[in-house]
Amino acid sequence: MSPRARSIVRRLFQAIPVIIAMSIFVFLMIHLVPGDPVQTMLGFRATPENVATVRAQLGLDQPLLTQYLTWAGNALHGNFGQDFISHAPVSTLLAQRLPVTIELTLLSMTLAVLVGVPLGVRAAAKPGAVRNATEGFVVAGIAITDFWLGIMLVLLFAGIWQVLPPSGYVPFLQDPVQNLRYMALPVLALAFGEAAYILRTTRGAMEEVLGTHYVLFLRAKGVRERRVVYRHALRNAAPPIVTVIGIQFGVLLGGAIVIESLFALPGVGRLIVTSIQQRNYVVVQGGVLVVAILFILVTLVTDLIVGWLDPRTEDGDAT
């Protein structure tokens, strides 16, 4: 096996213990609930027979290890148990809601990258007015909370100008234009802070590369500035930028929990929050598990891309 293939395989295997540990945490969630989780779920008017039935249904009367293995085995086959309230399989709920969260996250990240990277490159390449302007953006991006920005956007676009709907959702396949109209404000709210963060990272990485000797040499050699910046410098500044974009996916998935609730988007985040309020632990478990696995996979892919961009970091430690 080539060293590259070996490092990829090693990185894949590194993800396994993380996924297992995370699955144990999610599994234990229901057991860590203070008191009797089944009693809590069913409410205090539930009869002891009811509690016993649900307990057996959930397998909570089995030894802990057996329970975990059964649960994890089922989860591996896409079976996350059954929702208590609607009696639908949790996997069906997740399958309905995951696309919404993924669309929100992908659109936000795409927008943030399209704004953050070019502005960061320009700020590094042309210090002065451009850099000062980006500094204001970075500061605003740090200070302004995503969901408060969302509220303010609703106030402006839905309240005062009435050009976009304040909340709600239409599936993309049903009506693409309406779908994007509903997505516009949540995506803006999530992308703003991310764009600022990506901008800052890009600017920092580019400033470092543009200060190196080989850039000085390229300029002395008479290579055109555009080519120096975009072909040579950006390429070498890419690994930290890609790493940050990958890490920020997790932040976006977390932020999606709040933004989905604010804009009434039927995503996994909102499902988790409403299920917590209903003490619907089985659904919470499924939602947390899926989002966490999604995040671990994104981190994995990021590491592989960074390793490919910069072979010196074959072990995946980009920074």
Partner 1 sequence: MSVAVVAAGGKPRAVWRRGILASRKGRWGFAILTILALVALFAPWLAPHDPNAIVASRILAPPDLAHPFGSDALGRDVLSRVIFAYRVSLAVAVGSTLVAFLVGVPLGLYAGYRGGWVDTAIMRPIDMVLALPAMLLAVALIAIIGPGSNIATLAIAVIYMPILARVVRSSTLVVVSQTYIEAARARGTRTRSIITRHVLPNAIGPAIVQATILMGFAIQIEAALSFLGLGVQPPTSSLGSMLADGRDVLTQAPWVEVFPGLAIAITVLAFNFFGDGLRARLDPKGVTE
Which residues lie near partner 1 (CB under 8 A)? 18, 21-22, 25-26, 29, 32-34, 139, 142-145, 147-148, 151-152, 154-155, 159-160, 250-251, 253-255, 257-258, 261-262, 272-273, 275-277, 281, 284, 288, 291-292, 295-296, 299
Nearer to partner 1, 3 or 35 (CB): 35
Q: What is the DSSP letter of 158?
A: I
CB 132 within 8 A of CB 218: no
- Minimum CB separation of residue 211 from partner 1 in Å reads 16
Nearer to partner 1, 182 or 249 (CB): 249
- Minimum CB separation of residue 106 from partner 1 in Å reads 16
Backbone angles phi, psi at 82, to 5 degrees: -120, 140
- Minimum CB separation of residue 128 from partner 1 in Å reads 19
* Tokens (6 digits) for 249: 């996916």
- Minimum CB separation of residue 86 from partner 1 in Å reads 18
Q: What is the DSSP letter of 89?
A: B
CB 195 within 8 A of CB 112: yes
* Tokens (6 digits) for 93: 């709920």
* Tokens (6 digits) for 83: 């929702």
- Minimum CB separation of residue 303 from partner 1 in Å reads 12
Nearer to partner 1, 232 or 279 (CB): 279
Nearer to partner 1, 104 or 228 (CB): 104
Half-sphere exposure of 33 (CA within 13 A, CB side): 20
- Minimum CB separation of residue 316 from partner 1 in Å reads 13
Nearer to partner 1, 70 or 145 (CB): 145
* Tokens (6 digits) for 209: 């590369």
246 vs 242: CA distance, rounded Å: 6
Nearer to partner 1, 56 or 276 (CB): 276
Q: Which amino acid is at 182?
A: Y
Residue 243 burial by CB count (10 A; 0-12/13-18/19+): exposed, middle or buried? buried
Residue in the block written with tokens 């509903």? 182
